[in-house]
Homo-oligomer: A and B are copies of this chain.
Amino acid sequence: MKPAAATDLPDVADIYCAQARIRHLVHATPVLNDPLLDEALGCKVYCKCENFQRTGAFKFRGACNAIACLQEQELAGEVATHSSGNHGAALALAARLAGRTAHVVMPENSSPMKIDAVKSYGGQVHFCSPTNEARAAELQKLVAEGMIPVHPYDDPRIIAGQGTAALELEQAVPTLEQVVTPLGGGGLVSGTAIATESWGVSVFAVEPEGAADTVASLKRGEVISEFSPDTIADGLRAIVGMRNFQVIRDRVTGVLTVSDDEMRLAMVLFWQKMKILIEPSSATVIAALQKYPETFAGHKVGVVISGGNIHPAEWLRLTGKLSD
């Protein structure tokens, strides 16, 4: 039996409300472009640099909106989530700014830098085995203790918050024709698709070949449940959420895939042309512009550079000799 369609999807008004709610907390990140990057990619590229967002990723937008909604509803208490990376750090800081504590369930093999980030923003880390079951069980335990769960992407407040990046992009470059975002759980692309609905741009999402669960889900007509990701894009390994899938299916023009090696090349290109280090997850969108010229060549394309939380040593390890 297919699950019923979600009836609590945000609409564009919810995204404007989110923007009003969080604008004093989030950075209005810069939109950068460069003629030499354009030349390399064959289109005009406007990079919405969420890698310079607080906590180093767009995730802070959704987290702030979720916490602000709790404040408005006068729901006191600690919050809990699971995350191997940027959402955990984002929720930790968003919670701390509201005088709350965030508890983050993290797989015990999470990167030390991401663990440190959660702690440095005041979050409480709860380690679990690196399986979906262990993670769900640990989160369930925290919720049973009275904590308020905040899902990383399959949550209307999170989707609305992530959509605010696209609103800012529209405000900065109203003449864009296409917007491209990375796709993991789908929070960013679903928020983007909703935010841009009246703008007349086509929205594309990019997932790693080794975590192409959304492409598989679209093919099957429902979200697949069995899935073993294998990709360097550690931010995009999650299975697409139910709400997110619904939005992608109904409102996104295309879901594209890129290989890990294409991401590595895009990381190097972005550093060479823009002097910015990006995570593999962010590199998906740059890689897609190179790989699918029939879709993007000659157009004005906005891309969301989703995050920059990568240690330079890790960046070098991933790009190896490519960057010499």
Contacts and interface: CB of A to CB of B under 8 A. Distances in A.
A52 B275 contact: yes
Given A30-B30, A34-B54, A316-B316, A308 B275 contact: yes
A173 to B, nearest CB: 14
B312 A271 contact: yes
Nearest to A308: B275
A136 interface: no
Nearest to A319: B312
A311 interface: yes
Interface in A238-290: 271, 274-277
Interface string A153-194: 000000000000000000000000000000000000000000
The interface residues of chain A, by DSSP majority, are classed as: helix
A315 interface: yes
Given A30-B30, A34-B27, A316-B316, A309 B275 contact: yes
Interface string A1-41: 00000000000000000000000000100101011100000
A211 to B, nearest CB: 23
A51 B275 CA distance: 7
Interface in A188-237: none
A247 B61 CA distance: 45
A34 B26 CA distance: 10
A123 interface: no
A56 interface: yes
A313 interface: yes
A323 interface: yes
B309 A312 contact: no
Contacts of A276: 52, 276
A313 B311 contact: no
A274 to B, nearest CB: 7
A10 to B, nearest CB: 27
A315 B276 CA distance: 13
B274 A277 contact: no
Contact of A56 (B27, B35, B275, B311): B275
Interface in A51-67: 51-52, 54, 56
A315 B315 CA distance: 12
A52 B32 contact: yes
6 contacts: A27-B34, A30-B32, A52-B276, A275-B277, A312-B315, A316-B316
Interface of A: 27, 30, 32, 34-36, 51-52, 54, 56, 271, 274-277, 308-309, 311-313, 315-316, 323
Q: Which 8 pairs between the two chains have the least Cβ-Cβ distance? A: A30-B30, A275-B308, A312-B312, A56-B275, A312-B316, A312-B315, A51-B275, A313-B316
Given A27-B32, A56-B275, 11 more contacts: A30-B30, A30-B32, A32-B52, A34-B54, A36-B54, A275-B277, A277-B277, A311-B323, A312-B312, A312-B315, A313-B323
